[in-house]
Amino acid sequence: MTSAKPSPAGRADPTGLPVLALRDRLASGALSAAEAAEAFLARCEAVEPEVRAFAFLDPEQIRVQARALDAHRKAGRPIGPLHGVPVAVKDIVDTADMPTENGTEADKGRRPERDAVIVARLRRAGALVFGKTVTTELAYFSPGPTRNPHDPERTPGGSSSGSAAAVAAGMVPLAIGTQTAGSVIRPAAFCGIVGLKPSHGLIPRSGVLTQCPELDTIGTFARDLAGAALLAEVLQGHDAGDADTRPVADLPLLAAATSMPPLKPLFAFVKGPTWNEASDDTVAAFEELLAVLGAAPGDRADAEAGLCDEVPLPREFDEGIAAQLRLQHVGMARHYARYLERHASLMSPILKQAIETGRGIGALDYLSARDWQAVLRAGADRIFERYDAILTPAAPGEAPRDLTVTGKPAFNSLWTLLGLPAVTLPLLTGGQGLPMGIQLVGRKGHDERLLRTAAWLQRHLEDDSNAGGDARRQEATPA
């Protein structure tokens, strides 16, 4: 990932440090929160006018937070696991001291009375809440102003467009997003960073805009796997206000992301029902990737013969994309009705159409979609009885050169429907020199196993590349 570069004073520029190195420097006092804040603000000043990742950014408010964090540390008080680390927050997540406008003119100037649960957890962990990032309109498909840091004529993806772009451009080391179809994995892939969508229900959503409770999931962005895991570890845990969370022990996500599995993992390469959406670049890149992993078609008898098998999904999985859409549209019809009733003139045609579609879905079709969630999750569990992770594209290809779209969630919706954890690694490059992601999907509730497997795969491909192998990889460098 991005390497630290020397500053004029001869010290490493904090904006180029890996997340754990930045955390450690802040924790030890080698770097103050104020110094880190100024470095990231300078980066914002340089690139934000073109990238346009932020919906709200107040430098003085950031400086006030940083001074308070430094005073806290100098007083000898205990510090949290994110002490002084800047974290940007998607603008559908409530913040009591900043606007939360949900990407719509209908909520312009909205000021929540309290922080969302995850923002409160950020503050308790000592994070520097570094502004609000652009979201698409009500976290659906109508784009905001954000540009892809690798090419300003291309989409950064959506709906967590600002969060992905802010991290990719080096304006913050960490950011929070959400996913209902593909809104974490897809923009992370387009922007060339790590995106982590944990298991549904791992991170609470109280104080976050509701689109579809059966699908909505909080996710994290970072330039490296350890950073995404660290942020998710801080945010996870039971919340009485979110019925999908459970009072169980927290998962050791950071430890998993920085360790190796005891045995070489076995991957199930899954094309899925939308493989026809894959670009020629994606098909070629995965052919090379599978060759590196020693892939074989079908279910091999000897797992040692290679690290990957191509595993076809049963035809029942073809129902998954339609089921996800039905749930999403019904959720929008229910939770966005107030916008349509009061602010229809301020809403995009694509959003209004989605709400109307949801209104037309009958109870039997909705309940059938819920049934498919359980049926297909059980089918996926059978894959995980043999394989450590599913291997599949994170997006159809490179980011489209079209700022009126956010790209298709074709390779994400199925796994979101099932509530499975997923992570994208920026290890591939397309024909135009732009990043493409490798998506790994794990068993629900086994996020730590997925992260450990992802760490192994990244190291394996980097070692192969250093040894002159054919696996393509992408170094995500801030614009």
90 is catalytic: yes
pLDDT for 362 equals: 98
Q: How far apart are CA 171 and CA 160, in angstroms?
A: 15
Active site residue 183: yes
The band of 45, judged by pLDDT with boundaries at 50, 70 and 90, is: very high
Domains and CATH numbers, the chain: 131-479 (3.90.1300.10)
Assess whether pLDDT exceeds 80 at residue 459.
yes
The active-site residue, picked from 32, 90, 161, 197, is 90
Considering the chain, what percentage of its residues have pLDDT values greater than 70? 93
List pLDDT tens digits, range 133-152. 999 999 999 999 999 999 99
pLDDT digits (tens, 9 = 90+) for 190-236: 999 999 999 999 999 999 999 999 999 999 999 999 999 999 999 99
pLDDT per residue as tens digits for the range 243-295? 999 999 999 999 999 999 999 999 999 999 999 999 999 999 999 999 999 87
How far apart are the C-alpha atoms of 315 and 329, rounded to whole Å?
Answer: 24
Confidence of residue 126 (pLDDT cuts 50, 70, 90): very high
Query: 151-177 pLDDT, tens per residue?
Result: 999 999 999 999 999 999 999 999 999
Long-range residue pairs from 284-291, CB within 8 A, at least 24 positions apart, any chain: 285/428, 285/429, 285/430, 285/436, 285/472, 286/393, 288/470, 288/471, 288/472, 289/391, 289/428, 289/438, 289/461, 289/471, 289/472, 291/470
What is the pLDDT of the chain when averaged over all its residues? 94
Residue type, 441: V
pLDDT band at 76 (very low <50, low <70, confident <90, very high): very high
Q: In this prediction, what percent of the chain has a pLDDT beyond 90?
A: 91
Average pLDDT, integer, range 392-400: 98
Residue in 161, 163, 183, 199 annotated catalytic: 183
User: 467 pLDDT band (50/70/90 cuts)?
Assistant: confident
Is 264 assigned a catalytic role? no
pLDDT at 47 over 50: yes
Confidence class of residue 460 from pLDDT cuts 50, 70 and 90? Answer: very high
Active-site hit among 32, 159, 160, 161: 159
pLDDT by residue (tens digit) across 179-198? 999 999 999 999 999 999 99
* Beta bridge pairs of residue 45: none
Give the residue with greater pLDDT, 3 vs 43: 43
Half-sphere exposure of 224 (CA within 13 A, CB side): 18
Per-residue pLDDT reduced to its tens digit, 60-75 = 999 999 999 999 999 9
Tell me the pLDDT band of 464, cut-offs 50, 70 and 90.
confident
**Band of the pLDDT at 12, cuts 50, 70, 90?**
confident
